[in-house]
Amino acid sequence: MALNDIFGLDGRVALVTGSTRGIGAAIAGGLSAAGAHVVIHGTRQDRAESEAERLRGQGARADAVASDLSEPGAGARLIAAAEAVAGPVDILVVNASAQKNASLAGLTSEDLDFQLAVNLRSTVEMLQACLPGMARRGWGRVVNIGSINQIAPKPVVTAYAATKAAQHNIIQSQAREYAGTGVVLNTLAPGLIDTDRNADRKNADPAAWAAYCGNANWMGRAGEASEMTGAAIFLASDACSFMTGEVMVLSGGV
């Protein structure tokens, strides 16, 4: 069997949330290179369209949709919008997330509500909207982008870590619910990745950032967003047909 028969995504439609930058953009590019018709998502249509245009310039099939996932009902509306421009969603990459750094003592109700809305409510809404259709068609993939913090939470990201752990719990419950239908759901949990989420910290004190990265994992460095793409392609492909409800950790050896 050819590798493309296992890992190729020709004919598949993939919606990647939060894919105008960082890990989401890298994964969208990887899925596109594997043959998927990619739907780019961001909070701003112009930025989503710019990223889709970049992929189209590389010969890819790409469309763009925008939505604010903190709004009630936004998850379901996003699935509908993606399917309106590209057809039924075969691959859902749940990448967009909200992270407000705070210990439990310093956590405000507003920041908690925001993280719950983006990280949990919208995830539930998207799964409710797309899983039944995937099951009817007999094939589907959900790749949830979690975090090493769901396994080893740091106090400064108390709410974020808790929502990521709960998010994977939802993935596991639906993995069991849909087992045997051709639909599999898994979580990819990155460790420290050099994205714009860490830009302020990196730019404020480059020496401190370098020291932090040096002690973050066995490899002594932050990962690159592009290093998440291979695992994401695997989890989105036929190669993942006998894996569901699992966590794949890419952390440099934490």
- Residue 232: pLDDT above 90? yes
When pLDDT is averaged across residues 97-114 and rounded to a whole number, the result is: 95
- Residue 31: pLDDT above 80? yes
Q: What is the pLDDT of residue 80?
A: 98
- Residue 216: pLDDT above 70? yes
Q: What is the pLDDT of residue 1?
A: 63
0.85 exceeded by pTM: yes
Q: What confidence tens digit (pLDDT) does each residue in 106-139 have?
A: 999 999 999 999 999 999 999 999 999 999 999 9
Q: What confidence tens digit (pLDDT) does each residue in 73-93 have?
A: 999 999 999 999 999 999 999
> Residue 233's pLDDT band (boundaries 50, 70, 90)?
very high
Q: Give, in order, the Cα–Cα distances in Å from 124 to each of 3, 31, 85, 116, 207.
A: 33, 23, 22, 11, 40
Single-letter code of the amino acid located at 110: E
Q: Give, in order, the Cα–Cα distances in Å from 231 to each of 145, 218, 222, 225, 228.
A: 11, 19, 17, 11, 6
Q: Which residue has the higher pLDDT, 224 or 200?
A: 224
> Is residue 178 flagged as an active site residue?
no
Q: What is the pLDDT of residue 36?
A: 98
- Residue 203: pLDDT above 90? no
Q: What is the pLDDT of residue 213?
A: 94
Instruction: List the structure tokens of 168.
Output: 């994977």
Q: What is the mean pLDDT of the chain?
A: 96
When pLDDT is averaged across residues 140-169 and rounded to a whole number, the result is: 96
- Residue 153: pLDDT above 80? yes
When pLDDT is averaged across residues 134-151 and rounded to a whole number, the result is: 97
Q: Is the dihedral of CA 188, 7, 41, 57 positive or negative?
A: positive
- Lowest-confidence region among 2-6, 90-94, 207-211: 2-6
Q: Which of 79, 160, 213, 248 is catalytic?
A: 160
Which SS3 state, helix, strand or coil, does residue 124 take?
helix
> Residue 4's pLDDT band (boundaries 50, 70, 90)?
confident
Q: What is the pLDDT of residue 200?
A: 82
Q: What is the pLDDT of residue 219?
A: 97
Q: Give, in order, the Cα–Cα distances in Å from 56 to each of 37, 38, 49, 50, 65.
A: 10, 10, 10, 10, 15
- Residue 198: pLDDT above 90? no
